C-alpha cells in the first residue's frame, strides 16, 4: 500500500502524523517506553490537541529487540497472537538527553530524541534505521487509520523471504501483502505468507501479527522497506546477525523450532492423484508396478476421493470403492509402506458431520449466529472453528479413528480460503484470523499425530502456513504446472520459504496441473528427490514413472536409491534444522554470505551444508550453475570443478550435484529405504582434504541426537582419523579415490 505521490507529496486522501521527538522515556520491566508527540514541544501549550505515539522497546531473547508502536490503546484485545518462545536475557538501558540506547546481546537500538529516529547497530555497524518522518500514523479521510514504518535499505542490499513467494527471489521493487490465498504458483498470490524478511546485510525483521500487513520493498521509497497495517498498533522484531543465517536462526528460535520428521517421510511418496479413478486394485497395481521395476516406495497417499463425492470432508472411506479399508491398509503396510490420506477443515452439507457440527456449535458462524456456508470447493460447506476447544476434540476424534485404522500421516490441504464475515467461538477478530486459521488447523492435526505416534513420528503434508508454521512439517508448494517455467517458479517459492524459516519443503514432481512430457518428468524427479521430501502427485493423470517411459523408471529408481544412501547426511541436516533452525534446502546467499555472486541465485541451492544442487530447467539438457570459490567434486561422476560459472550437458541420470571441498560426507549402504541404522556399514567420503585443515561429520540417531562422530585432519601426506564406531573412510583427491580404509573405533593414521 502506497501513501505517497512521488517523493514530495502525500496522496490527498491521507493525513500524515509523524512523531517529531522522543519527549519522555520511562523504564518498565525489561524495557523502555518512549512517548513521541506529533508536534515539537516548545511549552505546555504544545501538548494541547496533540496526539502521540508510544514506542516500546523490549527484548525476548539475546540479539532480538521488539519494537511496539501504539496510537490508541483502548481497542478490543481480540487479535490472535503468534506463539513466541522467550528466554532470559540481560539488557542495558541508557536514557540520555540526546538519545536513548537499549542493548540486547550484540544488538543495540538507538533512539534520537529530536528529531525522532530509531537505528539498529551490531558491533558498531548500522544495520537499518527509521529516520525522521519514516514512522507515521496515516489517517484516511474515510475514517480508516494506518501505522506505517519505513526501514532503511542500503546500497546493494537485497531483501528475501516474506513466505513462499513465486515472484522474483530478491524482493526489492515488489509490493507484497500478507494474505493467504489459493492461487497456484504462477502469480504474486501465496499460500504461505510469513511477515518476516531477511536482509543480505545480516539482519531480519518480523512483523508480529497475523493481520494483513502490507510491504513496499524499495518500491514506494527506493531506499526503504515500508510495512504497516490498518489499525492502532504496529509491532515488529529486529534480529541481529552478523550473517543472514544467524538472523534466521534467531527468528526461528523465537517463533518455534521445527519438529524432526520421521525418517520414512524422507523416502518416495506416491499418490493416487486428484480426480483420477482408482480403487484398491488400481492402488495395488501401482505398488506392484514399483516393486516389479525395483523402484523403492515408502509412502502411499490417498488424495481427496478416498472419500465419497459431496462428502468432503467426513473422514469416512467410500465403501463402494473401498469396502474393507482397514484390511486394505493392513495389506499395504505389510509391504512396508506408510499411509497418508488427504483431509481439509471444510465440511460439506451432505456430510453427516455437517449437522453434527452445527448442533454442537463446532462450525464458524455468521454474525447473526447461523452457520457460515458457501459453495466454494464443496456444496454448502461449513468450516471447523478451531478456536473452540470442543471442535478441536471433535475433529481430532475423527482423525484418531483413521490412525487406529492404520493411517500414518495426513495431508492437511487448504486452509487459505477463510472468510472474514464470520464470528469465532472466542470472538477473535475475523480479519486477523484469516491468516491465523491455518496455524490452529495444522497444530490441531500435528499435535494429535505427535500424541498418538510419539516424538519424531508426526508428519503432515501442509499447503497453507503463517509465521510459526515451520513447527509442523512438512509443507509442499501447491498447484504447479507440468512445464519448466513452473518448475523454476516452484524452486523460487521453496527458497523464499526457506529464507522465511521453514526447514522442510516438498512439491509435486512433474507438476500438479497438466501432464508433463517425459523430459520434464525426469528432470523434475531429479529435483524432487534432491529436496527434503519427495512426492509424485498430479491432478487428472497418474504419476507412476512407467506412464512416462522406461527411462523415467530408471531416473526415479536411481535418485530414490541415491537419496536413501544419503540419509545419514540428510537426516543429520534435518537434526540440525530441528535443533538450530537452519533450513535443509538453503538459498546460496545463506550458505555463502561473503560471495556477491550468490545474492541473486534462485535456480540452485545447497542441500544441507555440503551438497550443491542445480536442477536442469531446459529440454536441451544443459546445466548452468555457479560454484563458489574452491574445488567441487561431482558426487556421481567424481569430476572436479573449480569455482566459477559452468555450462555443461547432462544426461537424465545426472545433473549438477557437487560436494564442497574439505567435506566429510556420510553415506549409507542401504539404497532401498530411508529408515535404517545409519551407523551400520557406514561410508564416510572425504573430498579434496585441505592441508592443515580438518573435516567432521555427525551421524544421527532417530531422535536427532548424535549416534557417532567422525573427524579427519590432514597434515601433509598424513591423515589422522577419529571415529566413535567402526566405518569405512573413502578419500577423494583430485578425480581419483586416493584411499579406502576400514576405520576401527578410535584414532587411525593414514598415509596418502
- pLDDT tens digits for 71-123? 999 999 999 999 999 999 999 999 999 999 999 999 999 999 999 999 999 99
Catalytic residue from among 246, 408, 429, 479? 479
What mean pLDDT is reported for the chain?
A: 97
pLDDT recorded at residue 553? 98
**What pLDDT does residue 455 have?**
87
Overall domain count for the chain:
3
Instruction: Assign 245 a pLDDT band (cuts: 50, 70, 90).
Output: very high
The active-site residue out of 216, 246, 416, 602 is 416
pLDDT given for residue 654 in this prediction: 98
Clarify whether 413 is annotated catalytic.
yes
> 621 and 536: one domain?
no
Does 610 score more than 90 pLDDT?
Answer: yes
φ/ψ of residue 359, rounded to 5: -65, -35
Query: Is the residue at 357 inside a domain?
Result: no
Q: What pLDDT shows up at residue 167?
A: 98
Asked whether the beta carbons of 160 and 499 are under 8 A apart, the reply is: yes
Paired sense of beta strands 268-271 and 534-536, if any: parallel
The contacts of residue 262 (CB under 8 Å, 6+ apart) are: 453, 456, 457, 458, 459, 675
632 in the same domain as 736: yes
Which of 195, 223, 255 corresponds to the end of one domain? 255
Residue 127 falls within a domain, yes or no?
A: yes
Residue 512 binned pLDDT confidence (cut-offs 50, 70, 90): very high
User: Are 659 and 686 spatial neighbours (Cβ–Cβ below 8 Å)?
Assistant: no
User: Which residue among 255, 276, 302 closes a domain?
Assistant: 255
In angstroms, how far is the first alpha carbon of the chain from the final one? 63
Chain-centre distance for alpha carbon 722: 36
Same domain, 65 and 194: yes
Q: What is the CATH number of the domain that holds 27?
A: 2.60.40.1760
Count of CA atoms in the C-beta half-sphere (13 A) of 153:
28
Bridge partner list, 536: 270
Q: Is the pLDDT of residue 36 over 90?
A: yes
- Of the residues 413, 429, 576, 602, which is catalytic? 413
Structural element, H or E, at residue 468: none
Shared domain for 556 and 614, answered yes or no, is no
For 61, the 3-state DSSP assignment is: strand
Let me know whether 532 and 599 are in one domain: no
**Are both 529 and 629 inside the same structural domain?**
no
Name residue, grid cell 447461523.
Answer: 370
> Torsion over CA of 208, 216, 422 and 461, rounded to 10 degrees?
-70
In 291-441, where do the E strands start and end?
299-302, 338-343, 346-347, 382-383, 409-412
Dist. CA 634–CA 625, nearest whole Å = 13
The three-point CA angle 588-589-592 to 5° equals 80
For 244-260, give one letter per residue: b (16+ CB within 10 A) or e. Answer: bbbbbbbbbbbbbbbbb
- Please indicate, yes or no, whether residues 40 and 136 belong to a single structural domain of this protein: yes
CA distances from 24 to 41, 46, 67 (A): 11, 14, 16
Quickly list H helices, 155-210: none
Least confident of 246-250, 452-456, 472-476: 452-456
Domain CATH code at residue 330: 3.20.20.80
Q: Does residue 376 form part of some domain?
A: no
pLDDT tens digits for 722-750? 999 999 999 999 999 999 999 999 999 99
Give every CB contact of residue 90 below 8 A, 6+ residues apart in sequence: 62, 104
3-state secondary structure of 568: helix
| Count of residues in the chain | 752
Phi, psi angle pair for 260, to nearest 5°: -90, 115
Judge if 691 and 710 occupy the same domain: yes
Residue 30 lies in domain: 15-255
pLDDT at residue 43 in the model: 87
Radius of gyration of the chain (CA): 27
Q: Do residue 239 and residue 158 come from a single domain?
A: yes
**Cell numbers of 389, please?**
476447544
| Helices and strands in the chain: count of H runs, count of E runs | 11, 44
Q: Please name the residue ranges forming H helices in 477-517.
A: 484-498
User: Among 615, 657, 573, 342, which Cα is nearest to 488's?
Assistant: 615
Question: The cell 526447514 sits on which residue?
Answer: 503
Q: Would you say residue 571 lies in a domain?
A: no
Handedness of CA 270, 275, 280, 284 (dihedral sign): negative
518-528 and 484-498 helices, crossing angle to 10°: 10
**Measured between alpha carbons, how far is 438 from 470 in angstroms, rounded to an integer?**
12
Instruction: Give the Cα separation of 696 and 712 in Å (integer).
Output: 6
Looking from the CA of 116 toward its CB, the CA atoms found within 13 Å total 26
479 is catalytic: yes
**Do 515 and 397 reside in the same domain of the chain?**
yes
pLDDT of residue 42 exceeding 90, the answer is no
Structural domain ending residue among the three candidates 255, 272, 305: 255
The three-class DSSP label of residue 471 is helix
Residues 518 and 622 in one domain: no
Characterize the bridge pairing of strands 683-687 and 727-733.
Answer: parallel
Residue written as grid cell 465419497: 308
Same domain, 243 and 285: no
For 277-324, how does the pLDDT look when each residue is reduced to its tens digit (9 = 90+)? 999 999 999 999 999 999 999 999 999 999 999 999 999 999 999 999
Amino acid at each position: 500500500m502506497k501513501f505517497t505521490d512521488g517523493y514530495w507529496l502525500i496522496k490527498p486522501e491521507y493525513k500524515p502524523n509523524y512523531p517529531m521527538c522522543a519527549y519522555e522515556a520511562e523504564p518498565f520491566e525489561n524495557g523502555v517506553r518512549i512517548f513521541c508527540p506529533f508536534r515539537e514541544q516548545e511549552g505546555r501549550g504544545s501538548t494541547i490537541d496533540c496526539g502521540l505515539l508510544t514506542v516500546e522497546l523490549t527484548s525476548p531473547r539475546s540479539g532480538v529487540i521488539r519494537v511496539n508502536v501504539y496510537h490508541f490503546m483502548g481497542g478490543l484485545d481480540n487479535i490472535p497472537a503468534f506463539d513466541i518462545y522467550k528466554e532470559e536475557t540481560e539488557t542495558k538501558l541508557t536514557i540520555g538527553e540526546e538519545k536513548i540506547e537499549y542493548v540486547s546481546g550484540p544488538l543495540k537500538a538507538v533512539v534520537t530524541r529530536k528529531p525522532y529516529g530509531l537505528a539498529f547497530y551490531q558491533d558498531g555497524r548500522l544495520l537499518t534505521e527509521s529516520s525522521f518522518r519514516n514512522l507515521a500514523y496515516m489517517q484516511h479521510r474515510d475514517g480508516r487509520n494506518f501505522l506505517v514504518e519505513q526501514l532503511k535499505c542500503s546500497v546493494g542490499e537485497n531483501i528475501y523471504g516474506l513466505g513462499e513467494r513465486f515472484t522474483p527471489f530478491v524482493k526489492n521493487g515488489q509490493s507484497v501483502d500478507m494474505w493467504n490465498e489459493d492461487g497456484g504458483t504462477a502469480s504474486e498470490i501465496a499460500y504461505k505468507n510469513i511477515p518476516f524478511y531477511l536482509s543480505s546485510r545480516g539482519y531480519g525483521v518480523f512483523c508480529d501479527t497475523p493481520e494483513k500487513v502490507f510491504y513496499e520493498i524499495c518500491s514506494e521509497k527506493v531506499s526503504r522497506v515500508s510495512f504497516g497495517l490498518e489499525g492502532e498498533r504496529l509491532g515488529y522484531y529486529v534480529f541481529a546477525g552478523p550473517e543472514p543465517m544467524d538472523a534466521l536462526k534467531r527468528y526461528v528460535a523465537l517463533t518455534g523450532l521445527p519438529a524432526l520428521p520421521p525418517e520414512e517421510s524422507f523416502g518416495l511418496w506416491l499418490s493416487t492423484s486428484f480426480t483420477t479413478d482408482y480403487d484398491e486394485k488400481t492402488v495395488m497395481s501401482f505398488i506392484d508396478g514399483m516393486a516389479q521395476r525395483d523402484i523403492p516406495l515408502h509412502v502411499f497417499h490417498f488424495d481427496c476421493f478416498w472419500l465419497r463425492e459431496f462428502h468432503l470432508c467426513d473422514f469416512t472411506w467410500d465403501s463402494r470403492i473401498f469396502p474393507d479399508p482397514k484390511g486394505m491398509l493392513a495389506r499395504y503396510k505389510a509391504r512396508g509402506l506408510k499411509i497418508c490420506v488427504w483431509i481439509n477443515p471444510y465440511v460439506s452439507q451432505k456430510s453427516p458431520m455437517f449437522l453434527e457440527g452445527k448442533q454442537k456449535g463446532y462450525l464458524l458462524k455468521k454474525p447473526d449466529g447461523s452457520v457460515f456456508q458457501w459453495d466454494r470447493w464443496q456444496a454448502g460447506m461449513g468450516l471447523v472453528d478451531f478456536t473452540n476447544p470442543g471442535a478441536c476434540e471433535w475433529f481430532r476424534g475423527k482423525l484418531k479413528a483413521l490412525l487406529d485404522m492404520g493411517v500414518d500421516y495426513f495431508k492437511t490441504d487448504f486452509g487459505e480460503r477463510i472468510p472474514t464475515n464470520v464470528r469465532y467461538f472466542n470472538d477473535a477478530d475475523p480479519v486477523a484470523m484469516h491468516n491465523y486459521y491455518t496455524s490452529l488447523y495444522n497444530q490441531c492435526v500435528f499435535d494429535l499425530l505427535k500424541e498418538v505416534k510419539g516424538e519424531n513420528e508426526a508428519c503432515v503434508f501442509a499447503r497453507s502456513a503463517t509465521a510459526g508454521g515451520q513447527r509442523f512439517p512438512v509443507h509442499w508448494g501447491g498447484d504447479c504446472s507440468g512445464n519448466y517455467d513452473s518448475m523454476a517458479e516452484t524452486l523460487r517459492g521453496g527458497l523464499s520459504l526457506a529464507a522465511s524459516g521453514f526447514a522442510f519443503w516438498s512439491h509435486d514432481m512433474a507438476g500438479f496441473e497438466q501432464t508433463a512430457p517425459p523430459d520434464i518428468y525426469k528432470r523434475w524427479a531429479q529435483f524432487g528427490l534432491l529436496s527434503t521430501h519427495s512426492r509424485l502427485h498430479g491432478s487428472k493423470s497418474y504419476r507412476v514413472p512407467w506412464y512416462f517411459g522406461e527411462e523415467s523408471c530408471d531416473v526415479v529408481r536411481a535418485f530414490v536409491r541415491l537419496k536413501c544412501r544419503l540419509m545419514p547426511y540428510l537426516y543429520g541436516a534435518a537434526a540440525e534444522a530441528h535443533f538450530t533452525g537452519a533450513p535443509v534446502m538453503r538459498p546460496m546467499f545463506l550458505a555463502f554470505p561473503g560471495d556477491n555472486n550468490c545474492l541473486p541465485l534462485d535456480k540452485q541451492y545447497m542441500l544441507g551444508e555440503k551438497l550443491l544442487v542445480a536442477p536442469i530447467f531446459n529440454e536441451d539438457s544443459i546445466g548452468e550453475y555457479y560454484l563458489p570459490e574452491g574445488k567441487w567434486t561431482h558426487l556421481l561422476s567424481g569430476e572436479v570443478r573449480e569455482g566459477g560459472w559452468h555450462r555443461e550437458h547432462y544426461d537424465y541420470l545426472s545433473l549438477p550435484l557437487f560436494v564442497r571441498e574439505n567435506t566429510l560426507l556420510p553415506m549409507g549402504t542401504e539404497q532401498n529405504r530411508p529408515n535404517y541404522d545409519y551407523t551400520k556399514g557406514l561410508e564416510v567420503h572425504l573430498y579434496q582434504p585441505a592441508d592443515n585443515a580438518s573435516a567432521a561429520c555427525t551421524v544421527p540417531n532417530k531422535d536427532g541426537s548424535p549416534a557417532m562422530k567422525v573427524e579427519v585432519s590432514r597434515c601433509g601426506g598424513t591423515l589422522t582419523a577419529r571415529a566413535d564406531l567402526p566405518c569405512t573412510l573413502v578419500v577423494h583427491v583430485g578425480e581419483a579415490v586416493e584411499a579406502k580404509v576400514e576405520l576401527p573405533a578410535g584414532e587411525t593414521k593414514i598415509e596418502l
